[in-house]
Each structure stands twice: as structure tokens, then as C-alpha cells.
Amino acid sequence: MMASQTKDPGAEAPGSRTPGTSHLVWIRAIWSEKGSLIAILFLLTLLSSAVAVSYPYLSKLLLDTIQGLLETPTTGDPMLEVNRLLLVLVAVGLAGLVASLFPGIRGMTNSVFEHLIRGKYFRRILGKDYSFFSRFASGDIVTRLTDDIYDFPKLSWFLCSGIFRAVESISKVAFCLTAMFLINAELTLYSLIPVPLMIVIFYITQDRIYDTFQKNQQAISAINSRLEMSFSGVRIIKSYACEDKYRRFFNEVLETRRNTEMGVARLEAVLHLIYQYIDYIAQAGIFFAGGIMAVRGEITIGTFYAFYTYLSMLIYPILDIPQLFVSGKRAFVNIDRLEEMANHPDPEFREIRHPVDRIQSIELRDVCFGYGDRPGDALKGVSLIIHRGERLGVIGPVGSGKTTLIKAIIGLLSPRSGEILINGQDLRDSDGDSYRSLLGYVPQEALLFSGTLRENIDFGSDDHTDGNFGMAVQTAQLTSEITAFADKEHTLVGQRGISLSGGQKQRMAIARALARKPELLLFDDITASLDATNEERLMNRLNELSADISCVIVSHRLSTLQYVDKVLFLKEGRTLAFGTHDQLLGNLEYREFIKEITGDS
Ligand code: ADP
Ligand code: MG
């Protein structure tokens, strides 16, 4: 939690821009995952445009036929031709019914893409290491996976509705223009005049559009990050009586978002106004020219009617096409924000990875590790070896690198230099999943998931039997507490259930680790959760369970040292001493540290 408080995505510099073509490649890749759906949509779209455009043309034929009949009556059945045309109109109407299904299909496809993208990027993000999560705040990640892709007019809407509305518009314009050319070429040319103007305006404004929308998405991320912070830190805010101060802090981001939203609304209003006016003027001109031609008798009433209808049909598609470019620019911002996360370097991955089926030994050779941009290293040349069944105690002052060491052993952090060897094999060449399946990790700050106590303990293990559960609970010294709850092991924890004390949570985490039947247990400072008596029971139970379980136990309690074979004494990331407790007593600094912690407890 603390790490996320220092970042503010709203203040982040805009990411480097990818040219338009790579966005198109991205869209094509996503589309190809739902190829047949896209093909159906294309067909339906073209069908519906063709149907819509055929009405005025058929009406013109109908009108012209009637006019012809009135002027020069024939001897045959005058209604025959009219009836034929009416039949065609009915057929077109039926086709229109089928085509009218497709806004519904479009809506469904939007959500198909929404889930597809969210699932895809969620998987990518889960594969990232700590540096990713220290760069992106949780609220920011949530925004990019929800607001950025969800709903009108964001990414998933654009991927289907947006693009297909444009396809519909473009095909309508093309069909209309073809029909109009067929009817009267001269009048049609007049109606093309505003198109280049619209394109020029889009080119002039496109950077502005991108910037405006990017700033707005960043503002939304900033709000969500601060919301996330305020609710996860609500106890601190309340106990410090800082509500007012925090409200002001929150209002700042709200204000930023209000400004960016206003910017978006202003830009949209101006663009809409410009496009609408261009269209009005063009329409008035054509209406005037067409009227004169009809009065002069150069065109029939049917032609004038069809032209009039086509012109009114053209307004919306023509207004909609620039809208596609605008919503495209918006969607490109969303794509870039997703890709920015995906492109954050993945943990180093080697071609050949050896599965780890047993832990014989773990060795650190001269391991140095530093956190991201922080100057200096948190581990400075640490070397140690743990054999199967051995227990290593790690002690040292706060900030000496104990937690960092545990994370490095798990493989959550990759060393800057030096090697971590599992059974003599470099951890980077080992298969991480099979290695970690042999570990039981109890973090310094235990975290439980929402759900029941039982689900939390079973979480990481494949053995969900009562026997295994009982063993884990008993070893972690939790039995009496769980039986004291009304719902026993089915008691809910987390947001909708009870909350446990820090110590209980950590013992839950111990049980969760033990349920995995690990070969290596990593306890990151469990002194707060177990008193000396319970610690002794835990250690004795571990001895009974198996002599083969290796342990790394971070502690700052002297009594822990009696359960370990070797002690690593860390200070400022450096090994001050490594050996048995008795050997280490020869070291002056170690003796002083021991005196200090004995005085403490
Ligand atoms: P310990 O567990 O012994 O108290 P840590 O391993 O947590 O110490 O930390 C060692 C050093 O690394 C400290 O100086 C700490 O400030 C730094 N550190 C720990 N975690 C991070 C992090 N996520 N980003 C940057 N620095 C960190
Ligand atoms: Mg620590």
C-alpha cells in the first residue's frame, strides 16, 4: 500500500506516441481473434446500407412510373408495373428486417471485445514483477482495465460499434453517391464539395484531440488511485482526524478531472458545430440548385424527390465519419495506455528452463540487488548456503535487507549481480513455477483474501482434504481460535466477514504455507504472531512432520535462534557474519546486537 502512495499517474508525462499504423495492427490482431463475427458484421452492415439506400431509388422509380402513366396512358394493365415495384419494396423491407438485427449484434460484440481485452491484459500484468507494481498504482491499473475499455465511447465500443458505424456510414455515402450519380451527375458533384474541407479540419485538430483525451484518462486514473488509497488507508485517515486535509487532497484531482472533462466537452462541441455547419451550407446550396433544375423541367419530380431524400440521408453518415476519426483518436489513447503496461519489461525469461522437483540445496553467491531507481543496493554481496532440512535464521536491524533476501530466494526479485543456485542450477534457468510450488512463504504483512478461513488456507495447495487442513491449522497453532468462531472454518474473512488481528492473520498465512507441504518454508518475521511458547510448539511440530523441510526464519527474537542451524547476520544489506550462533558470538557486533534485542524483549 505504502508504495502506491508516492505515485500519481495524473502527473505522469505522456507516454511516447506510437504511429497510427501500429494502432491499426493492434486492432487487426484483436479482430482476427473473432474473425467470423467480424465477417458477419461486415455483411450485415453492407446489407443494411444497401437496403436503406434502395428505398429512395425505388420510390423514384415508383413516382416516375406513376407520372408516366398519368401523362401517356397505355392500353395494357396500368397497375402491372406499379405492382411489380411494390413487390420489390416489400422484398427490400424484409431484407431490412434482417439487417436491423445488427445494432444488437454490434452491442454484443462490444462486450465480447471488452472481456477479451481485459482478460488478455490481466494475464500479461500478472506476469510482471515488482518493478511494474511500483510503477503503476493499483487505481491506475484498474482504470486502464475498466474505464479505458468499457462503455461508449471508449476502446471496446470503438472496436465494434465505432468502426462498424463508420463502415455503415461510409457504405451509405458510397451507395447514396452511386445512386445520385446514376440519377444526376452534376447535382452529385455539388454535394461532394464539403468532404475535403472536413478532412482538412480533422488533420488540423487531431493532435489536440489525442492530447485532450489522454489528459482526461490520466485524470480518471488519478482519481481512482486516490480513491483506492483513501479506502485502503481509511483507518489511518480517521485515526489522524485528517478527513478535511484528505478531502482537499482529493478535491485537487477532482478539479483536474473537471477541467479535463470540460476540455473534452468543449472540443467535441466545437468539432460538432463546425461539421454541422459545413453540412448545412452544402445542403442549402444543393437544395437551391436542384429546385431550379426541377422548376426548369430538367429533372423529373421523382428525381427531385430521390435527391432530396438522399441528401437528408447523407447528413448523418457524413457527420458520423469525422466522428469515427475522433473516437478513433480516443481509442488510440486507450490502446497506448494498455500497451504501456504490457510493454513494461517482463521478468527475464530463458529458453531452456529446468523443472525443480526437489530442493536439495539453495545457494546465494555474492548476490547484489537494488530497487529500481534507488541509489545503492539493498543486498550487497550476500553469500550463503542452505542444505535440505537445514534451518537458517536471519537477523539484523530494520532495513538491513532481510525481507529483500527472502524475496530474492523466492525469485520475486532478480539480482543485479551474483547468482542464486537451486540444487546447483541458476534460478534463472530453473522453471519458476515448479520451484515455487515447493515453497511456503509467510510474508511480514500477511494478507488474506475475501472468502472463508478454509478457502484461505486451502488457497495454495492441491490437497484440500480435512486431514491436510487439520495438520496445517494445528501446526500453525490456530485450532483453538478457529473452533471459537461460530462458523468455525467456514467463517468469512475480509470485507464481508470478520477481521482478524495481525497475529491471527499471520498464523493463517503460516497455515496456508504449511498446507502446501513445502520443502522450503520462508518465515518473514513471525515474532509478532507467536509468543515464545507457541513458537516452540510450531518448531516442534515441524520437526515431527518432516526432517526434510528447510526453513529460512527472519526474526528479531533471541529464542528463535535455538531452533536454527545457522544464522545470517545482516546489516545495511551486507553479511556481517554467517555461521552457527555459537560461532557468531565471537563477533563483537553480533554480540552487541544480541544484547540490544534481549534488552528489548
Ligand atoms: P528489512 O526486512 O530488513 O527491514 P528490507 O529488505 O525490507 O529490510 O529493506 C532493505 C532496504 O531496501 C531498505 O533500505 C528499504 O528502504 C529498501 N526497500 C525495501 N523495499 C523497497 C521497495 N519496494 N522499493 C525501494 N526500496 C525498498
Ligand atoms: Mg522486513
Q: Are the CB atoms for 359 and 423 separated by under 8 Å?
A: yes
Separation of alpha carbons 291 and 308, rounded Å: 10
* Ligand 1 centroid, distance to 598 Cα (angstroms): 24
Position of cell 476502446? Answer: 155
Rg (CA), the chain: 35
**DSSP type of residue 465:** -
Q: Are the CB atoms for 267 and 208 separated by under 8 Å?
A: yes
Cis before 317? omega within 30: no
2 Cβ below 6 A of ligand 1: no
Q: Are the CB atoms for 505 and 478 separated by under 8 Å?
A: no
What is the grid cell recorded at 112? Answer: 465480447
Give the pLDDT of residue 558.
83
134 Cβ below 6 A of ligand 1: yes
Which residue minimizes the CA distance to atom 21 of ligand 1? Answer: 371
- The strand pairing partners of 600, in sequence order, are none
* Ligand 2 centroid, distance to 570 Cα (angstroms): 12
- Cβ density class 182-196: b for 16+ within 10 Å, e for less: ebbeebbeebeebee
* Ligand 2 centroid, distance to 402 Cα (angstroms): 5
* Ligand 1 centroid, distance to 445 Cα (angstroms): 14
Residues 6+ positions from 62 with CB-CB distance below 8 Å: 82, 85, 86, 89, 302
Give the pLDDT of residue 353.
82
Separation of alpha carbons 599 and 59, rounded Å: 99
**DSSP type of residue 15:** P
Q: Are the CB atoms for 290 and 174 separated by under 8 Å?
A: no
Tell me the longest C-alpha to C-alpha distance in the chain: 127
- Tell me how far the alpha carbon of residue 16 is from its chain's centroid: 19
Q: How confident is the model at residue 496 (pLDDT cuts 50, 70, 90)?
A: low
DSSP E strands: which ranges in 239-378?
Answer: 361-369
Mean pLDDT check: name the lowest of 73-82, 133-142, 400-409, 520-529. 73-82
Q: How confident is the model at residue 535 (pLDDT cuts 50, 70, 90)?
A: confident
What is the grid cell recorded at 73? Answer: 396512358
Task: State the architecture of 443-517 in CATH terms.
Answer: 3-Layer(aba) Sandwich (3.40)
DSSP E strands: which ranges in 370-415?
Answer: 379-387, 391-395
Residue with the bigger pLDDT between 521 and 531: it is 521
Q: How confident is the model at residue 208 (pLDDT cuts 50, 70, 90)?
A: confident
Domain boundaries, the chain: 9-342, 350-438+522-601, 443-517
* For the CA of 373, the nearest ligand: 1
Kindly report, residue by residue over 266-316, the tens digit of the pLDDT.
Answer: 988 888 888 788 777 777 777 777 778 778 877 777 777 787 788 778 767
Q: Are the CB atoms for 488 and 445 separated by under 8 Å?
A: no
Of 570, 556, 553, 562, nearest in space to 600 by CA: 556
DSSP readout, 521-567?
EEEE--TTT--HHHHHHHHHHHHHH-S--EEEEE---GGGGGG-SEE
Question: What count of other Cβ atoms lies within 10 Å of the Cβ of residue 1?
Answer: 11
Q: Do domains 9-342 and 350-438+522-601 have the same CATH topology?
A: no
Question: What count of other Cβ atoms lies within 10 Å of the Cβ of residue 375?
Answer: 6
Q: Are the CB atoms for 489 and 515 separated by under 8 Å?
A: no
Length of the chain, in residues: 601
Mean pLDDT check: name the lowest of 82-96, 221-235, 410-424. 82-96
Q: In what order do the strands lie in the sheet with 391-395?
A: 439-442, 520-524, 550-554, 391-395, 566-571, 574-579
* Ligand 2 centroid, distance to 7 Cα (angstroms): 22
- The strand pairing partners of 368, in sequence order, are 417
Q: How confident is the model at residue 15 (pLDDT cuts 50, 70, 90)?
A: very low
Q: Are the CB atoms for 147 and 217 separated by under 8 Å?
A: yes
Kindly report, residue by residue over 19-51, the tens digit of the pLDDT.
Answer: 567 899 999 999 999 999 999 889 888 888 888
Kindly report, residue by residue over 145-176, the tens digit of the pLDDT.
Answer: 988 888 777 899 999 988 998 888 889 888 88
Q: What is the mean pLDDT of residues 418-422?
A: 93
CATH code at 9-342: 1.20.1560.10
Q: Are the CB atoms for 213 and 264 separated by under 8 Å?
A: yes
Residue with the bigger pLDDT between 597 and 508: it is 508
Q: How confident is the model at residue 92 (pLDDT cuts 50, 70, 90)?
A: confident
Kindly report, residue by residue over 546-561, the tens digit of the pLDDT.
Answer: 888 999 999 888 888 8
The answer, as to whether pTM is greater than 0.75, is no
Pocket test for ligand 1, best of 128, 374, 398 (most atoms within 8 A of CB): 374
Give the pLDDT of residue 524.
92
555 Cβ below 6 A of ligand 1: no
**What are the backbone dihedrals phi and psi of residue 328, each rounded to the nearest 5 degrees, phi first?**
-60, -45
241 Cβ below 6 A of ligand 1: no
Residues 6+ positions from 285 with CB-CB distance below 8 Å: 190, 193
Separation of alpha carbons 395 and 566, rounded Å: 11
Indicate whether 4 pLDDT > 60: no
Pairing mode of beta strands 425-426, 492-493? unpaired
Residue with the bigger pLDDT between 476 and 349: it is 476
Of 362, 360, 400, 366, nearest in space to 383 by CA: 366
Q: What is the mean pLDDT of residues 231-255?
A: 84
* For the CA of 571, the nearest ligand: 1
Separation of alpha carbons 462 and 517, rounded Å: 10
Which residues have a beta carbon within 5 Å of ligand 2, which is an ion? 402-403, 444
Residues 6+ positions from 58 with CB-CB distance below 8 Å: 85, 88, 89, 92
CATH code at 350-438+522-601: 3.40.50.300
> Which H or E run includes 158?
none
* Ligand 2 centroid, distance to 403 Cα (angstroms): 4
